[in-house]
Structures are given as structure tokens and as C-alpha cells.
Structure 1
Amino acid sequence: MDAVVFGATGFIGRSLVAELLRRGRWVAAAVRNDTLTPWLTSQGVDTGRLDIVTADIRQPLTGLPAARDVYNTAGRYAFGLSAQEARATNVAGALNVLEWAAALPGLRRLVHISGYRVSAADGRPDYAGSGAYEASKFEGDLAVRARARELEAPLTLVNPSVVIGPGQYVGLASLIEDLWNGRLPALPGSPDTFVPIVTTDYLARFLAEVPEAPTGEHHWVLDDTTPLLPELISTIADHTGVRAPLRTIPVGVLRRLPRMVTGADPETLSFLSSDRYPTASARAFAAGAGLEMPPATEALKTWAEDLVAARFGAARPRLSPYGFRAVAGSRTWVTGERHRPAHVLLHGLPMNADLWAPVAAHLDGPVLAPDLSGLGRSAAAVQPVDAWLADLLSPVQNRPVLVAHSAACGPALRFAVDHPDRISRLVLVSPAFLQAPSPRLTRSGLAVPMMRRIAPARLARELGVPKGPEVESAAADLRRPGVARRTITALRTDAVERERSRALLNRVDVPVQIIVGSIDPLVVATGHPLAEIAGAGHYPQLTHPRHVARELEVGAAPISG
């Protein structure tokens, strides 16, 4: 084999395997359970040169294929471990890999992944003060260096900082999760706290190049231009449309306060430091290899979007591509094709754009599906919803089908009346203004605190739909500050505008189609084509997505601009 990668199912390891395979290398991935192959396939990586082998580095290694290069990306990255648990992988496991690799005939390089904080450590590992994770990484670093000298093994240590990218949900991600959910009233650390980052893609490319360089170098791989922590958090807050904390709390104070008060894991506090790190060798190596880090600020924004899309590891993204965009002066969560969508999908309440994921899976063309202004993952509105919708659709270059559900039917109807040249057809799904008064969930007297606390199972019962990922996504957003209140306000506004919407329906100059469930029928006749889906209620997208998609595909294709 060209390379053996230990810890190949981990966040760093799997990205490294993907990079090596893309370069045409023969790779043996040493794993305990093969979750790697499905992940590689999902990333579009050809696994024809991949060999999966079973290995547990906590035990002496035997029976593995020989290779020119050996990478140890394995590590127990978790807080709250016992010293025994942490040392089993981060110390004993690292030495087991070294012993096995050093005995290989023709070994070119052993690349061991350590940690960037080892440069700040002094003396002996401090399991009591630093915690088992950091102390074991420090002890493992010292042990691997010493044993490699004894064995004269061709060792290169790589010490990455906080590695960010899709799938990374620990460490700094936890701080961003608190920021997103309004649970970060003050920032831990000080104004000069430095938590450097490196993207997983860059680190994988760096690691793939390491065996080509002379042995003996040890590299701290991190972006020296990473903003200081207060600016880092402020950058993410601005990008996602949430409020950044204005105060900091010194680490010394946090250490003295009970965890139940601070919410901070004591083991994370040692990472909140103003220390800088010896990156000269890594920067010189990268320059020689033609590697260039992506701008730190842009990498942080992209990672924040990945975290939000995946609910910080609790779910998988429902629609893609995704991200925050400036629409009518506010940060808006937008998914799908922004320039030439076949369908523009506007969700009803109390949902978000994920409501349309089951239907989008059955549509032939691309879709554009935002979270409405102030709802879901979108920030509070700066302008009225009509101005927001007009600005959202301003980049669209064709004439798509505009599809709206429930309370979104009003804004969609007004857009169709004002801009008939911008869309080819208007589809109203469960238009609330043509149906009986809303069910219990949407009654005007519903309290905001109840909406904020509503569990996915109860929300599903109230909506009359299965408790699927779309309902869980909506429930998660309702727990965010302000979203439940704005949802209730939108529901009340929609109820007031029922008569106005009914009057506008006769002024639309584009074809109009209406889709409802038989359990939630129209109570007002319109004269427009009507599709009634048997057995469906107010949310046919969730209960009968294939039927809804079939109705949306009816009629002429979107007209080119």
C-alpha cells in the first residue's frame, strides 16, 4: 500500500483518506467499524484503491498490510474522560502504532497527529489541572518523540489547531451553538483570547504532502490570521444574524464558578489563551508545496452555515446548497438554486424551508426555498415581507413556478399581482385564507412560551403529521430567541388579511393552481383549478409529498427570461 491511515473514520482521518484516494494512492484504512466507505461514497470519492482493515490501536498491532507511509490520526477527542480512557488511545495507542510502523521494511514516513497546545505545555502532563484529554495528548507527544528517537523511526509530528469543516461538532462548535441558540450572554476568556483554526480540507492536503519532505520537521498547522475570539464570534454572529455578547468573563473567574452556573466544561478553559504558536516551519513547508489556506473569516462563515444546516450534529441537512444571504437588509437562510429555479417554495407556519424537502426530492428541476424573513433560521425582518420577497427573487433570471403554503400564500399572491412577468404560475398549497379557521396550534390566543417549549412529538400531533426531521427542524427553530414570538405575530397577521387575500385572487394575471388535502378542504369557491389530495390535511407536503410533487409538475415548464 502507499499509505496506512489509523483513525480513518475520524474527522481528520476520513478527510485524509479522501485526499489520498483522489491523488490515486492505494490506501489501507485501519478502523474498528467501517463507517468510512459510505461516507466516502457520499463525497463522490472512488474507493477502488481503498482497503478496509480492522485494527484497534489500544492493542499491539499485527497482521496489517505494509505501507511506505503510515499516518496516525487516531485519538480520543472528548472531555470528561478518565485518565485511563484517554491514555489508552492517546498514549499507549500512539506508541503501538509507532512500534508497528518502525518495524516495516521500507517505511518512508510515520506522520503522527498531535495537538497545537503541546507547545504551551511545560513539565509533566497535568491530568488534574488540564483534564485527561489535553494531558494525554501532551504525554503522548512526549512519548512518541522519545520512542521514535530510540527506534530511529522517520517521524514527522503535525500539530493542528482547532480543525473546522463539515462534521466537526465539538470544541469551538459548542460555543457557536450557544451563540446561535441565545445561550451566550458573555464570552469566556479575555479580549486577546486566541483560538486558531485550520480547515479540514487544507489539513488533509498538508498531511498528504508531508512524506515528500525531509524527516525530522515538526509542524504547527494553524492560521495565524484567525481573528481573536471576540472578533471571531462577532464575525459569525453578524453572518448568521444573531446577537454577539458584548462582555467577556476571565478564565480565572470561570474556574471558580460552578459549572451549573457557567455552562462551560472545565477542560475547555485551558484552550482559552492568548498564546501564539511556532508556525514558521509549517508556513515554509506549505509555501514550498504550493498550499494556501483559505481566508479564515470566509472559512468560519462557511463552517457556521454547515453547523446550522446540520443542527450542530443533531440532523443532516435537508436541502442544499444552503447558506445565509442578505435579503432586504436582513440575514436570510436560503437553500437551493438562486438564479434559475424551476420552483420557488415558500413555507407556511410554524415551519421553515425544510418543510419542502420531501417534495423537492420528487421534483425534476432545481428549487429555491428560503426560511421566511424573521422565521426559521432567518434573522428578524428589517423591511416588510413583500419587499423581502421581491429582493429574494431579484437574482432569478427565469420565470419559475411560485409555490406558497398556508400563511405564505398572502405574500406570494401579492407578488404575483405586482409582478406577473416574473413568474410562470402561482400554486397555493392549503391557502389558509380560503379554508376554515386555523387549528389549535395557530389560534390567536396561543402563548409564546408554550410555542418555545413545544416538543417535536407534540408539534407533530398539533399539525397532524408524522414526527419526522422536518418537524424536528421547526421545533428547534422555535426554541431560538424571538422566533416563536414572530411566528405567533405572523399567524395573527395572516388571520387579519384573509379578506384582502380573497379579493386579490381575482386580480392575478398568471395561471393559478390550488392544492389542498381532503381533510382540510376549501370553504370558499374560487374557479381556479383545484387538486384535492385524499387523506391529506393542512400539510400535504409532509404526508403526501409524491402527490404534491406530481401536481407541481403539471402544466408548462418554467418560461425562460
Structure 2
Amino acid sequence: MDAIVFGATGFIGRSLVAELLGRGQRVAAAVRTDTLTPWLLARGVDIAGLTVVTADITRPLADLPEARDVYNTAARYAFGLGEREARATNVIGATNVLEWAANLPALRRLVHVSGYRVSAPSGTPDYAALGAYEASKFEGDLAVRALAKERGAPLTIANPSTVIGPGQYIGLAGLVRNLWEGRLPAIPGGPEVFVPIVTIDYFARFLASIPESPAGEHYWVLDDATPPLPELIRTVADHLGVPGPRRSIPVGLLRRLPRALTGADPETLSFLSTDRYPTAAAHSFAAAAGLEMPPAEDALRVWADDLVAERFGTAAPGLRPYGFHSVAGSRTWITGDRHTPEYVLLHGLPMNAEVWTPLAGRLRGPVLAPDLPGLGRSAPSDRPLEEWLADLMSPVRTRPVLVAHSLACGPAMRYAAAHPDRIAKLVLIAPALLQAPGPRSARSAPAAAMLRRLSVQRLADTLHLPSGPEIESAAADLRRPGVARRVVRALRTVHAERGSGRELLDRVRVPLEIVVGSADPLAVPVDQRVIVLPGAGHYPQLTHPAELAEQLESLSDPLRR
């Protein structure tokens, strides 16, 4: 084997395996359980050079394929661990890997992944003060270096800072989550606190390149240009369209206050430091290897998009690509093709763009599906919905079919009337302005508090839908500050505008179709043809996606010709 990677199913290990395979190497991946192969296949990685082997580094290693380069990316990265549990991987496991590697006849390099806060030439780790994770990493770092010197092993240590990227949900991700969910009242630490980052793609390339360099180096791999923590938080808050905290709280006070009050894990507080790190050797090596870090602010924004799309590790992303963009002066969550969509899909209440996921996969053309302003993951806008829609459509170079559901039908009709040259057809699904009003209780002041408290199953029952990822996504958004209140406000707006639907229909000068479920009929007679989906209710895109896709495709076929 060209290389063997221990900890190959971990956040760093799996990306390193993908990088090595991409370089044409033969790689052995040492794992306890093979979750690696599906992960690689899902990302289109060619696994022809991969061999998966079973290994438990907490025990002495044997019967593994020999390799030229050995990487130990295995670590127990968690807070609140017991000392024995943390040492099993971070100390004993690390020395077991080195003992095994030192006996390989053709060993070129052993690369050990340590940490930017724990690498020091000497010392004794204080488990009580540091916590089991950091102390065990400190002890493991010392033990590996001492054993490598004793055994004459060609060792290189990589000390990464906070590694960010898709799939990283701990550490700094917890702070981003609190910011996103409105639970970060103050910035932890002072104005010069430095929590540096490095992206997983860059770090994997860095690790893969190390064996070409001389042994014995200790590389601190981090971006010195990472903004201080207060500025970092502001950068992420501005990108997400959420208010950032204006106050800060000193680390010393955080240590004294009860965790129940601050929400801060005591083990994370030592990372709130103003320390800087010796990165010159890593930068010199990276330049020689042709490696370049992406700008820190850009990397943070991309990672924030990933965290929101993945619900901080609780859900798989729906439509791709995804991310926050500025539309009509507000931060808007947009999924799909922004420039050449064949369909533009506008959701209704209380959903977000995820509601279109079952349908989008059945349509032949690309789609563009945003979260409406103030709803789902999008920040509020101070402009009318049809003006926001006009700005959303400004980069679109095609004449798509505009598909609107429920609440969105009114703004879609107004947009179509004002911009008939921008769309090929308008399709209204369960248009709220043409249907019977819902219960008055849904528009009452207590309704917002009720919506925030709804479980996924209760929300599904309320909407007469089976629970699923789209309902889970909507429920998560409703718990965010202000979203439920804006849903109720939108319901009141729709109720106040009922009766204007017929007038709006008369203003539309593009081909128009209306689709409803048989269990959710129109209450207002219309002259236009109405397509009725048997058995469907108010959300046919969820309950009858195949039938709805068939109707949309048939409506679009003449446009394609």
C-alpha cells in the first residue's frame, strides 16, 4: 500500500482518504465499521485503489497491510469525556499506531495529527484544569514524540486549528448554531480572542503532501488571517441574516458563572485565547507544495451554508446547490439553479423550499427554489413580495415556468402581470386567495407561540401530512426567533386579501394553469382550466409528487417545442 489511514471514518480521515485516492494512491483505510465506502461513493470518489481493513487502535495492532506512509487521524474529539475514555484513543491508540508503524520495513513517514493548542516540547497535562479531551491530546502528543525518538521513526506532526467544512458539527459549529437559533446573547471572551480555522479540503491536501518533505517537522496548520472571534461572529451573522450579539463576556466571568446560565462547556473555554502560533514552517511547506488557503471569511460563509443546509448535523441537505444570497436587500436562502432554471418554485405556509424536494427530483429541467423572505431560513425583507421576486429573477437568463403554492400565488400573479416577458407560464397550486379561509385560531396572536412549540408529528397532523424530512425542516424553522410570528402575520395578510384573487387572475397575460387537490377545492369560481389531482389535499407536492410532476411536465412540453 502507498498509505494506510487510521481513523479513516472520521471527519479528517475520510477526506484524507479521498484526497489520496484522487492522487492515484493505493490506500488502506483502517476502520472499526465501514461507513467510509458509502461516503466516498456518494461523492463520486473512485475507490479502485481502496482496501478497507478492520482495526482497533486501543489495542496492539497486527495483521494489517504494510504501507509506505502511515497517517494517524484517529482521535476521540468530544467534550465531557472521562479520562480513561479519552486516553484510550488519544494516548494509548496513538502510541499503538506508532509502535506498529515503526516495525514496517519500508516506512517512509508517520504523520500524526495533533492539535494547535496541545503541542509543546514538555510538560504534564492537567486533566482537572484542561478537561479530558485537551489533556489527553496533550499527553498523546508528548508520548508520540518521545516514542518516535526512541524508535527512530520518521515522524511529522500536524497541528491543525479548528477544521471546518461539510460534516463538522462540533467545536466552533456549536457557536454558529447558537447564533442561528438566537441563543447567543453575548460574545464569549474579549475583542482579541483568536479561534483560528482551516478548511478540511486544504488540510487534507496538506496532509497528503507531507511525506514528500523531510521528517521531523511540526506544522501548525491554520489561517493566521482568521478574524478575531467578535469579527468572525459578525461575519457569520451578516451572512446568515441574523442579529449578532453586541455585548461580550470575559472568559474569567464565564468560568465563574454556572454552565446552566451561560450554556458554555467549561472544556471549551481554554480555546478562547489571544495566543498566536508558529505557522512559518507550515506556510513555507504549503508554498513549496503549491497549496493556497481560501480566504477565511469566504470559507466561513460556505461552511455556514453547509451547517444550515444540514441542520447542524441532524438532516441531509435537500435541493442543491444551496446558500444565502442578497435579494432585495435581505439575506435569502436559495437552492437550485439561479441562472438557467426551467422551473421557479415558490413555497407556501408554513413550509420552506424543502417542500419541493420530492417534486424537483421528478422534473426533467433544473429548478430554482428559494425560502420566501422572513420564512424558512430567509431573513425578512422590507419590500413587497413581488418586488423581492423581481430581484430574485433578475439573474435568471431563461423564461421559466413560475410555480407558486398557496400564499405565494398572490405575489406570483402580481409579478406575472408586471413582467409577462420574464416567464413562460404561471402555475398556481392550491392558491390561497381562491380557497376557503382557514380557522380563525390560526391567525390569532397565541398562534405563533403554539407554532413554535409544535413537535414534528403535531405539525404533520395539523397539516394533514405524513411526517418526513420536509416537515422536520419546517418545524425547525418555526422554532427560530420571529419565524412563527411572521407565518401568522402572512396568514392574516392572505385572509385580508381574499376575494382579490379573481381580479389578479384577470391581470395575468401569460399562459396560466391552476392545480388543486380533490380534497382541497377552490371556493371561488374561475374561468381558467383547473386541474384536479384525485386524493390530494393542500400539499400535492408532498403527497402526490409524481402526479404533480407529470402535470407540470405536460404543461411545459409545448413550451419546450
TM-score range for the pair, normalised by the shorter chain length: over 0.9
Structure 1: segments with no counterpart, 5+ residues = none
Instruction: Specify the alignment match of 2:7 in structure 1.
Output: 7
Q: Which amino acid aligns with 2:127?
A: Y
**Displacement after TM superposition at 1:493 (Å):** 0.3
Root-mean-square deviation (Å): 1.3
- 3-state DSSP of counterpart to 1:438: coil
Superposition deviation, residue 406 in structure 1: 0.4
Aligned position for 1:205: 205
Residue 117 of structure 2 corresponds to: 117
The match for 1:251 is: 251
CA distance in 1, matches of 2:164, 2:559: 42
2:281 aligns with 281
SS of the counterpart of 2:52? Answer: strand
* Corresponding residue for residue 390 of structure 1: 390
Distance in structure 1 (CA, Å) of the matches to 2:116 and 2:58: 23
2:18 is aligned to 18
The superposition leaves residues 476-519 of structure 1 with CA deviations (integer Å, 9 ceiling, x where unpaired) of: 11111111111111111011112222211122111111111111
Amino acid at match of 2:101: A
Counterpart contact for 1:420–1:509, Cα < 8 Å: yes
- The amino acid across from 2:131 in the alignment is G
1:41-63 Cα offsets, whole Å, 9 max, x none, are 11110001100000010011000
Within a 5 Å distance, the mapping from 1:87-106 to structure 2 comes to 87-106=87-106
Q: Distance in 2 between matches of 1:54 and 1:440?
A: 61
- Contact residue 444 and residue 491 of structure 1 kept, 8 A: no
In the TM superposition, what is the alpha-carbon distance from 1:360 to its structure 2 partner? 0.4
Number of the residue aligned with 2:324: 324
Matching of residue 305 in structure 1 with residue 308 in structure 2 = no
Partner of 2:78: 78
Residue by residue, what CA displacement relative to the aligned partner does 1:448-496 show, whole Å, maximum 9, x if unpaired?
Answer: 1111121111110010001111011011111111111111111110111
Q: For residues 153-186 of structure 1, what are the alpha-carbon distances to aligned partners after superposition, in whole Å with 9 as ceiling and x for unaligned?
A: 0000000000000000000000000000000010
DSSP 3-state at the match of 1:326: strand
Rounded to whole Å, the distance in 1 between the matches of 2:440 and 2:347 is: 19
Normalised by the length of structure 2, the TM-score is 0.98
Q: Distance in 1 between matches of 2:298 and 2:13?
A: 24
Q: Displacement, 1:542?
A: 1.1
Q: Confirm or deny: 8 A CA contact 1:441 1:462 kept in the other structure.
A: no
Please state how far the C-alpha of 1:446 moved relative to its aligned partner. 5.1
For residues 528 and 3 of structure 1, the distance between their equivalents in structure 2, rounded to whole angstroms, comes to 66
1:399 counterpart SS class: coil
Q: Report the counterpart of residue 148 of structure 2 in structure 1.
A: 148
Q: Is contact 1:202–1:293 with CA below 8 Å preserved after alignment? A: yes
Q: Gapped runs of 5+ residues in structure 2?
A: none
Alpha-carbon distance in structure 1 between the residues aligned to 2:101 and 2:228: 39
Taking the aligned partners of 1:105 and 1:528, their CA distance within structure 2 comes to: 80
Q: 1:427 to 1:90 in 2, by over 3 A?
A: same
Distance 2:143 2:446 in 1: 62
Contact 1:98/1:144 (8 A) holds in 2: yes
Equivalent pair of 1:424/1:558 in contact (CA under 8 Å): no
SS in 2 for 1:158: strand
Per the alignment, residue 488 of structure 2 pairs with 488
Q: How does 1:192-231 map to 2 (within 5 A)?
A: 192-231=192-231
The residue that corresponds to 2:413 in the other structure is: 413
Which residue is equivalent to 1:127? Answer: 127
Partner of 1:68: 68
TM-score (norm 1): 0.98
Call closer, same or farther: CA 1:220–1:558 in 2, change over 3 Å: farther
Contact preservation (8 Å) 1:120, 1:275:
no
**Distance of 1:57 and 1:35 partners within structure 2:** 17
Residue 404 in structure 1 maps to residue 404 in structure 2: yes
CA contact (8 A) 1:342 1:558 kept: no
* Letter in structure 2 aligned against 1:538: H
CA separation of 1:445 and 1:482: change in aligned 2, threshold 3 A:
closer
Match of 2:362 in 1: 362
Distance in 2 (alpha carbons) for counterparts of 1:292 and 1:87: 34
- Please tell me whether the aligned partners of residues 121 and 138 of structure 1 are also in contact (alpha carbons under 8 angstroms): no
SS in 1 for 2:514: strand
C-alpha distance in 2 between matches for 1:166 and 1:556: 36
Report the AA paired with residue 206 of structure 1: F
Counterpart amino acid of residue 124 in structure 1? T
Rounded to whole Å, the distance in 2 between the matches of 1:91 and 1:119 is 13
Q: Quote the Cα distance in structure 2 between the aligned partners of 1:28 and 1:440.
A: 63
Measured in 2, the distance between the counterparts of 1:96 and 1:510 equals: 71
Question: Percent same amino acid at aligned positions?
Answer: 69
Maintained 8 Å contact 1:71/1:112: yes
Matched with 1:236 is: 236
Whether the aligned pair in 2 keeps the contact of 1:118 and 1:137 (CA below 8 Å) is yes
> Quick check: 52-61 or 528-537, which moved more?
528-537
For 1:466 and 1:363, how far apart are their aligned partners in 2? Answer: 22
Deviation at 1:443, TM superposition (A): 4.0
1:279: how far off? 0.6
Distance 1:374 1:413, change over 3 A: same
Residue 341 of structure 1 aligns to a residue whose secondary structure is coil
Q: 2:51 — aligned with what?
A: 51
C-alpha displacement at 1:320, in angstroms? 0.7
Identify if the C-alpha distance between structure 1 residues 112 and 440 changes in structure 2 by more than 3 Å, giving closer, same or farther. Answer: farther
8 Å contact from structure 2 (residues 441, 447) kept in 1? no
Structure 1 position 122, deviation (Å): 6.7
Structure 1 stretches of at least 4 aligned residues deviating more than 6 Å after TM superposition:
none
**Mapped pair 1:456 → 2:456:** yes
Distance in 2, matches of 1:361 and 1:236, equals 31
* Correspondence for 2:179: 179
Partner AA of 2:199 in structure 1:
T
Deviation at 1:548, TM superposition (A): 1.1
Name the amino acid aligned to 1:496: A
Distance change >3 Å, CA 479–CA 120, structure 1 → 2:
farther
Q: Could you tell me which residue of structure 1 aligns to residue 512 of structure 2?
A: 512
In structure 1, C-alpha distance between the alignment counterparts of 2:416 and 2:539, rounded to whole Å:
23
- CA shift in 2, pair 1:454/1:23, >3 Å: same
| Distance in 2, Cα, partners of 1:186 & 1:254 | 11
Counterpart of 2:438 in structure 1 is 438
How far apart in 1 are the matches of 2:166 and 2:365? 26
Match of 2:157 in 1: 157
Encode CA deviations 1:419-456: one digit per residue, 9 max, x unaligned.
Answer: 11111111111111111222577444652111112111
Query: Using the alignment, how far apart are the partners of 1:451 and 1:120 within structure 2?
Result: 52
Match of 1:477 in 2: 477
Contact 1:386–1:415 (CA under 8 A) maintained in structure 2:
yes
Letter in 2 for 1:337: D
Conserved 8 A contact 1:196-1:224: yes
1:536 maps to what in 2?
536
Q: Residue 33 of structure 1 aligns with which residue?
A: 33
- State the shift of 1:529 in Å: 2.2
Matched-pair contact (CA < 8 Å) for 2:119–2:141 = no
How far apart in 1 are the matches of 2:311 and 2:552? 29
The 2-side partners of 1:371 and 1:441 are apart by 25
Deviation, structure 1 residue 530: 1.8
- Over 3 Å counting, the alpha-carbon distance change for 1:510 and 1:121 in structure 2 is farther
Moved more, 194-203 or 447-456: 447-456
Deviations 1:376-427 (A, max 9, x none): 1001113221110110001111110000000110000111111111111111
CA distance in 2, matches of 1:233, 1:558: 50
Residue identity matched to 1:302: V
Distance in 2 separating the partners of 1:558 and 1:114: 61
What code does the residue aligned with 2:499 have? E
